[in-house]
Structure 1
Amino acid sequence: MTPPRSAAPTRTDLPSTALLTDAYELTMLESALRSGAAQRRCTFEVFARRLPDGRRYGVVAGTARVLDALERFRFDEPVLDALREAGRLSPETLEHLAAWRFTGDVDGYAEGEVYFPGSPVLTVTGTFEEAVVLETLVLAVLNHDSAVASAASRMAVAAGDRPIIEMGSRRTHEEAAVASARAAYLAGFSSTSNLEAGRRYGVPTSGTSAHAFTLLHDSEEAAFRAQVAALGTGTTLLVDTYDIRAGVETAVRVAGPQLGAVRIDSGDLAVLAVQVRQQLDALGATGTRIVLSGDLDEFGIAALGAAPVDAYGVGTSVVQGSGSPTAGMVYKLVEVEGRPVAKRSESKASHGGRKTAVRRHRSSGTATEEVVSAGGPPPAEPGDRALQVPLVRGGQRVGPASSGDGLAAAREHLGEVLVSLPWEGLALSKGDPAVPTRVLPPV
């Protein structure tokens, strides 16, 4: 396992992110330029109308990645050439876009904060032409990363003190795999198998071998001897390629009682963990750890709570949000030149006006409700904690980095926040959000 480290700062010579968007954002911009409304000062907010079915809280993740992408959001010549070729915009609009720069402000919940229905997790303020074109990119990042982090947090809570390795890279898009590894680590996973996440974000990496390595050799013993010779006795040997009991016996014979760990990737994991623990102890390998993997999710991990398990490996379920691959967040215009505006359509209504959010707590530190106010900060009460922090000011990033200390702080913050939730809010069973959200209308 490699230790966390600070990755290189964002490079401005990386490709532009301006085309990671929907066509209608640029056609709206062109129309607003023609109508004269493009320079109106606007505020857009990101929020989720509801949590995925069965969830009690969501985890904000991806905010720093949004800031990374915003720093690279520019209409340079390659982008303009692609837009010219598409023939969607007028020459005048293309010329205007060449000078486009985001000069507005961004505020939001800190990465690692929990959110609930209606929480204003991100607020973007600038001219209409500055803010409207960011919608797709912002939502793509936040919906993906928050979905993964929310699922990963439930798994980490279910695992307790047992570490979890993220190993889902082969079950998603190659770039989504990197973002998923980061989000899972933020939410409490111990490491990832994805090496690019280690390089880009400083996420600790780990990994030993797959069944293919065992099958490559003429015998299981030959495979184990090769691995131990290369990686030492502290390695993790995969013992379920053939017969698990024989695999454990061979593993200890080859590596000795100092063998680091054995991994089981199939079968009735709860029963096998007990049997393997008994066998390891009988062979004198009392310090050898047991790692379980194989289609685990938060419910499977919780079911293994009483089993003699030392660590888990989770793949498909975490990178797919454990059945909820999107956080369901939306990006809505809530204010134009200081005037509240809101969508009123049935089932998709929203509250107008720029919001301020605080979370209220008992004297014991337990959260009781989230208060979202559209009329300025709500009246202060003891135990209030402001939820929004500055991320961009005048187009300049002031928020944390997506790697190194920034990622470590987000991981630590989530751990502190989860302690403040009512205990029933951490349950895996269906129920209401851990704390209710109360929206105060504009005054």
Structure 2
Amino acid sequence: MNTADLGLPVDVPSTALFTDHYELTMLQAALAAGTAERRSVFEVFTRRLPEGRRYGVVAGTGRVLDAVENFRFDEPVLAFLRERRVVDERTLDWLAQYRFSGDVWGYPEGEVYFPGSPVLRIEGSFAECVLLETVVLSILNHDSAIAAAASRMASAAGDRPLIEMGARRTHELAAVASSRAAYVGGFATTSDLAAGFRYGIPTVGTSAHAFTLLHDSERDAFRAQVDSLGAGTTLLVDTYDVAEAVRAAVDIAGPDLGAVRIDSGDLLLVAHRVRQQLDELGATRTKIVVTSDLDEYAIASLAAAPVDAYGVGTQLVTGSGHPTCSMVYKLVARAASADPKAPLVPVAKRSTGGKTSIGGRKWAARRRDARGVAEAEVIGTGPVPADLADRQLLVELIKGGSVLARESLDVVRDRHAAARDALPLSATQLSRGEAVIPTEYV
């Protein structure tokens, strides 16, 4: 596996150290106690959605599959652990042979989820499953948060395309993952070339204010850009005076000017003025792109404006106020002994304080009404009711340590659009509210 495909620097050989210290000390103690090989079931879920959110979006599954496949303790990693005395030699010997050989089931990437939804289920020995906790949560919590924000923004934008342009507002590797998650959530393009290279996401971009300021006049800057990129380019018109810039842009590029971009001011008012001016100048097909710290609420407020596309940065890559989904990775069942044939015993945290969980290996299904609209997220540990047999949500992702299949992002993106469309209409409301459908345990 090429580590560049994981969004990693080329000198990082594996994902094995994307974990917490205590995962390895738990492993050491379990090996010594003879419990490390007990068959175990872990599940990833969230107890609640972020405040005000009505649904979540599963994103990052493809990256999880890559991370599990590339979870290897090679010599440099083992040497680091030995030098720091993180674990003993017996544990280091075990880690040297580590290859995940278990099974993984999960909600298909792009699907929506709700409180309690078992979005991922990892089965295997305790030892091999516990090591994956941190990297799995790191990916799913980040990517699902970004995808959920993107989905809300896409709903607010309607048929108008969204451009992801948040690379400069987050960590360089997080920027690549954010672009991927945004595309899953409904964004059309990204400004990040690394995301385009790794994931095939369409990339766009033309110029910034610096390009205008470089030249002796705004007209000189526009002329240089049009001469290089053609009349179909997008000219940034708010460096100085917007009305004068629009006049110059059409004069230089002609009525076939591709678009103008507005990056400041009262976007609603300025967009109306620019549209009127463009039409009066004969540039009736020239589009208007707006940027400037947009979020889903700002996008919704521009629904009546003559805007053709939105560029979103900071608010997207920070999850629009919710940078994590608070997903957890919990042991829900384990074998009564290390015997491979030993029965599974449900286990769960029972302490007070709101962090309890429900034990047992779970299935999940979504009940729908006669029109095909979702009514409830149904979760159980026993037999699946006959009327929900064809509504089950979990699919097998890894079997015996081998990834079964990988999907293109376009397939995932289309799945999300279909899943969101199957929710009640209130799911797309931006006002604060509870989950749009209840979670029922049977």
Residue 393 (structure 1) aligns with: 399
Residue 146 (structure 2) aligns with: 148
In 1, Cα distance between the equivalents of 2:4 and 2:334? 38
Q: Which residue, 371, 379, 396 being the options, matches 2:378? A: 371
In 2, Cα distance between the equivalents of 1:269 and 1:416? 31
Q: Root-mean-square deviation (CA), in Å?
A: 1.6
Total equivalences in the alignment: 429
SS at match of 1:273: helix
Residue 351 (structure 2) aligns with: 345
Give runs of aligned pairs for residues 7-406 of structure 1, distance below 5 A. Answer: 15-337=13-335, 338-346=344-352, 347-377=354-384, 379-381=385-387, 385-401=391-407, 406=408
SS at match of 1:381: helix
Q: Are 1:361 and 1:383, in contact at CA under 8 Å, matched by a contact in 2? A: no
In 2, Cα distance between the equivalents of 1:9 and 1:237? 33
Q: Which amino acid aligns with 2:356?
A: A
Q: Which amino acid aligns with 1:391?
A: L
Q: Which amino acid aligns with 2:427?
A: G
Residue 424 (structure 1) aligns with: 426
Encode CA deviations 1:157-194: one digit per residue, 9 max, x unaligned. Answer: 00000000000000000000000000001111010000
Percent identical across equivalent pairs? 62
User: How much does 1:381 deviate?
Assistant: 1.5
Q: Are 1:361 and 1:384, in contact at CA under 8 Å, matched by a contact in 2? A: no
Specify every segment of 5 or more residues in structure 1 that has no aligned partner in the other structure, as ranges: 1-6
Seen in structure 2, the aligned counterparts of structure 1 residues 341 and 382 have a Cα distance that, compared at 3 Å, is: closer
Q: Which amino acid aligns with 2:375?
A: T
Seen in structure 2, the aligned counterparts of structure 1 residues 376 and 382 have a Cα distance that, compared at 3 Å, is: closer
Specify every segment of 5 or more residues in structure 2 that has no aligned partner in the other structure, as ranges: 336-343
Q: Are 2:7 and 2:173, in contact at CA under 8 Å, matched by a contact in 1? A: no
SS at match of 1:83: helix
Seen in structure 2, the aligned counterparts of structure 1 residues 10 and 177 have a Cα distance that, compared at 3 Å, is: closer
Q: Which amino acid aligns with 2:359?
A: G
Q: Which amino acid aligns with 1:275?
A: R
Q: Are 2:6 and 2:67, in contact at CA under 8 Å, matched by a contact in 1? A: no
User: How much does 1:383 deviate?
Assistant: 9.0
In 1, Cα distance between the equivalents of 2:37 and 2:71? 19
In 1, Cα distance between the equivalents of 2:398 and 2:300? 40
User: How much does 1:380 deviate?
Assistant: 2.3
In 1, Cα distance between the equivalents of 2:90 and 2:7? 30
Seen in structure 2, the aligned counterparts of structure 1 residues 55 and 384 have a Cα distance that, compared at 3 Å, is: farther
SS at match of 2:441: strand
Encode CA deviations 1:300-356: one digit per residue, 9 max, x unaligned. Answer: 000000000000000000000000000110000000011000001221000000110
Encode CA deviations 1:369-420: one digit per residue, 9 max, x unaligned. Answer: 010002242x12269521101100000001324xxxx211110101111111
Q: Which amino acid aligns with 1:93?
A: T
Q: Which amino acid aligns with 2:415?
A: H
SS at match of 2:67: helix
User: How much does 1:93 deviate?
Assistant: 1.1
Seen in structure 2, the aligned counterparts of structure 1 residues 58 and 32 have a Cα distance that, compared at 3 Å, is: same
SS at match of 1:317: helix
TM normalised by structure 1 equals 0.95
User: How much does 1:117 deviate?
Assistant: 0.4
In 1, Cα distance between the equivalents of 2:32 and 2:259? 66
Q: Which residue, 404, 409, 412 being the options, matches 2:411? A: 409
SS at match of 1:240: coil
User: How much does 1:100 deviate?
Assistant: 1.2
Q: Which amino acid aligns with 1:259?
A: L
Encode CA deviations 1:195-215: one digit per residue, 9 max, x unaligned. Answer: 010010001100000001100
In 1, Cα distance between the equivalents of 2:423 and 2:93? 51
SS at match of 2:54: coil
SS at match of 2:386: coil
User: How much does 1:426 deviate?
Assistant: 1.4
User: How much does 1:8 deviate?
Assistant: 9.7
Which segment is superposed worse, 293-302 or 426-435?
A: 426-435
User: How much does 1:439 deviate?
Assistant: 1.5
Q: Are 2:257 and 2:286, in contact at CA under 8 Å, matched by a contact in 1? A: yes
Q: Are 2:365 and 2:388, in contact at CA under 8 Å, matched by a contact in 1? A: no
SS at match of 2:387: coil
TM normalised by structure 2 equals 0.95
Seen in structure 2, the aligned counterparts of structure 1 residues 316 and 9 have a Cα distance that, compared at 3 Å, is: closer
SS at match of 1:358: strand
User: How much does 1:151 deviate?
Assistant: 0.3
In 2, Cα distance between the equivalents of 1:231 and 1:393? 49
Q: Are 2:234 and 2:259, in contact at CA under 8 Å, matched by a contact in 1? A: yes
User: How much does 1:143 deviate?
Assistant: 0.2
